[in-house]
Amino acid sequence: MFVDNLIEKIKEKKNPSVVGLDPRINLVPNFIIEKYEKEYTDKNLAEIKAILEYNKIIIDNIEDIVPCIKPQIAFYESYGIEGLKVFKETVDYAKEKGLLIIADIKRGDIGSTAKAYAKAHLGGGFGDIDSVTLNPYLGEDSIAPFTEYCNENKGVFILAKTSNKSSKDLQDIEIKNKKIYEIMGELINDWGKNYIGKYGYSSVGAVVGATYPEEMKSLRKIMDKSYFLVPGYGAQGGTADDVVNCFNEDGLGAIVNSSRGIIGAHKKEKYKDKYNGKDSHLAVRQAAIDMRDDIVTALKKVNKIAW
């Protein structure tokens, strides 16, 4: 099962973190951009080729540190067909390096449309993707075509409590003494009961933002067998001490994402003077190591280590 594969990768790397490959051209080192600007007159084509090279550099420098990557498809879609080709090439390259893939697609539709989305992203249309993120607003009809693939070593992470500030506009509404995010947690827990792996966790997981540590505690109680994908660490303000609330006492149950904090590390004050220009990949690697160490240190303080 996907969740078993994920847990084993986390234990192997001793690292419950994932790097989000959300490519923005302003985060790609200039020497890479300049190389492709000379080769292509089409600005968009030059940019997406530069992004692909940088993605491969990032993967090369984190493959021994992290268990998986999380490419966000919107950044690739913005470049049209060529961008989607790069999305697939990124997936394929990461798989060659032994990494798991969580495709951040946030799809949510019903009927034949949901089946088509599921086939595209879990049926091999974009490469060997291991798991996807989903928006559950349309209910179980929008989720079931994806969870069918959980019997084929695939997984899903369903939005429960997201890291953005305006998530409260809907997710925090109270109905019969329960917040909507808590009701969503109960649904996710129910949808995942048939996909429990050998470590006691389900391949139907939840997205729970690092920026809401108290809500995490509530959702951890509701979804004790769900794996949490945790955005919001670092650039959005979530800390390692915050994210420990997503982990169970066995030290499992969550994988924490950082995107800009890793792929844009060479521009951060902490690294930019030491690693710049053609050494920018070293900033990426160091940032990934620092994130791992930060989270593991926080987990050790509360005795939640799984290895």
Domains in the chain, ordered, with CATH? 2-301 (3.20.20.70)
Distance from CA of residue 151 to its chain's centroid? 21
Residue 106 annotated in active site = yes
pLDDT at 269: 86
Q: For residue 160, which amino acid is it?
A: A
Give the sign of the dihedral formed by CA 185, CA 190, CA 192, CA 196. Answer: positive
265-281 per-position pLDDT tens digit: 998 888 988 887 789 99
Catalytic residue among 95, 106, 115, 178: 106
- % of the chain exceeding 90 in pLDDT: 86
Contact in structure between 90 and 71 (CB atoms under 8 Å): yes
Dihedral of the alpha carbons of 235, 239, 242, 245, in degrees to the nearest 10: 90
Write the burial class of residue 125 (CB in 10 Å: 0-12 exposed, 13-18 middle, 19+ buried): middle
Is the pLDDT at 80 greater than 80, yes or no?
yes
pLDDT at 26: 95
- % of the chain exceeding 70 in pLDDT: 99
Q: Output the six-digit token pair for 123.
A: 């049926």
pLDDT at 87: 98
Average pLDDT, the chain: 95
pLDDT at 235: 66
Measured between alpha carbons, how far is 85 from 79 in angstroms, rounded to an integer? 10
2-51 per-position pLDDT tens digit: 999 999 999 999 999 999 999 999 999 999 999 999 999 999 999 999 99
pLDDT at 277: 78
203-250 per-position pLDDT tens digit: 999 999 988 888 889 999 999 999 999 998 876 777 899 899 999 999
pLDDT at 256: 97
**3-class state of residue 258 by DSSP:** strand
Contact in structure between 133 and 142 (CB atoms under 8 Å): no
Contact in structure between 223 and 36 (CB atoms under 8 Å): no
Q: Higher pLDDT residue, 236 or 131?
A: 131
pLDDT at 44: 95
Q: Which of 113, 178, 176 shows the shortest CA–CA distance to 146?
A: 113
